Amino acid sequence: MSGSVPAILLTLNLAAVTTLILFVLGTPLAWWLANTRSRVRPFIEAITALPLILPPTVIGFYLLILLNPTAPIGRFWVTVTGDTLTFSFAGLVIASILYSLPFMVQPLQTAFDRIGRDQIEAAASLGASPLDRFFSLVLPLSARGFLTAGILTFIHTIGEFGVVLMVGGNIPGRTRTLSIALYDHVEALRYDQAHALAAGLVILSLIVLSLVYWLNRRSPRHDG
Partner 1 sequence: SAAAEEALIAVAANFTRPAEDLAAAFQAETGHTIRIATGSTGALYAQIRQGAPYDVFLAADTERPARLVADGLADADTLTPYAMGRLVLVGADTADLPPLDRLRAGDVQRLALANADLAPYGRAAEQVLDRLDVCLPERQRLRGQNVAQTLAMFTTGNADLAFIARAQLGGIGPSSASLIPADWHDPIRQDAVLLLQARDNEAARAWMDFLISPTATDILDAYGYGAAE
Partner 2 sequence: MTDSGLEFDLTRRIGGFILRGRASLPACGIVSVSGSSGAGKTSLLRAIAGLDSGLSGQVRFAGETWHDGTCRMPVHRRRIGIAFQDTRLFPHQSVAGNLAYGAARAPAGTPGPDRAEIIALLDLHPLLKRAVAGLSGGERQRVSLGRALLSRPRLLLLDEPLSAVDTARRNRLLPDLRQLLLDHGIPALHVSHSRAEIAQLADHVLPVRDGQCGACHPLNDWLAAQDASHPFSLLEGHLAGHDTENGLSTVRLGEASLVLPGLGEVPAGASLRLIVRARDVALALDPVPGLSIRNQIPVRIKGIRPQPGTAYCDLDLALDGQVLTARITRAAADSLSLETGQSVIALIKSATLDPAQE
**Binding positions for partner 1, rule: CB under 8 A:** 57, 61, 64-65, 68-71, 84, 86-87, 165-166, 169-174, 176, 183-184, 186-191
Contact yes or no for 145/110 (Cβ under 8 A): yes
Residue 116 CB, shortest distance to partner 2, in Å, is 9
- Alpha helices in 36-133, H assignment, sequence order: 41-49, 56-67, 72-81, 89-113, 117-125, 130-133
Dihedral over Cα of 118, 123, 128, 134: its sign: negative
Among partner 2, partner 1, its own copies, none, residue 124 binds (CB under 5-8 Å by kind)? partner 2
Residue 206 CB, shortest distance to partner 1, in Å, is 24
Among partner 1, its own copies, partner 2, none, residue 77 binds (CB under 5-8 Å by kind)? none
Residue 28 CB, shortest distance to partner 1, in Å, is 32
SS3 184: helix
Contact yes or no for 181/155 (Cβ under 8 A): no
Contact yes or no for 148/42 (Cβ under 8 A): no
Q: What is the gyration radius of the CA atoms in the chain, in angstroms? A: 20
Residues 158-187, interacting with partner 2 (CB under 8 A): none
Assess 34 for contact with partner 2 (CB under 8 A): no
Among its own copies, partner 1, partner 2, none, residue 221 binds (CB under 5-8 Å by kind)? its own copies
Among partner 1, partner 2, its own copies, none, residue 75 binds (CB under 5-8 Å by kind)? none
Assess 82 for contact with partner 2 (CB under 8 A): no
Stretch near partner 2 under the rule CB under 8 A, chosen from 1-9, 87-95, 128-136, 173-181: 128-136
One of 136, 170, 205, 216 touching partner 2 (CB under 8 A)? 136
Q: How far apart are CA 192 and CA 89, in angstroms?
A: 29
Nearest 5°: the CA angle 164, 166, 204 is 25
Angstrom distances, CA of residue 205 to CA of 81, 158, 159? 35, 10, 11
User: Which CB sits closer to partner 1, 67 or 111?
Assistant: 67
Residues with Cβ within 8 Å of residue 5, at least 6 apart in sequence: none
- Catalog residues that contact partner 2 under the rule CB under 8 A: 118-119, 121-130, 132-133, 136-137, 140-141, 220, 222-224
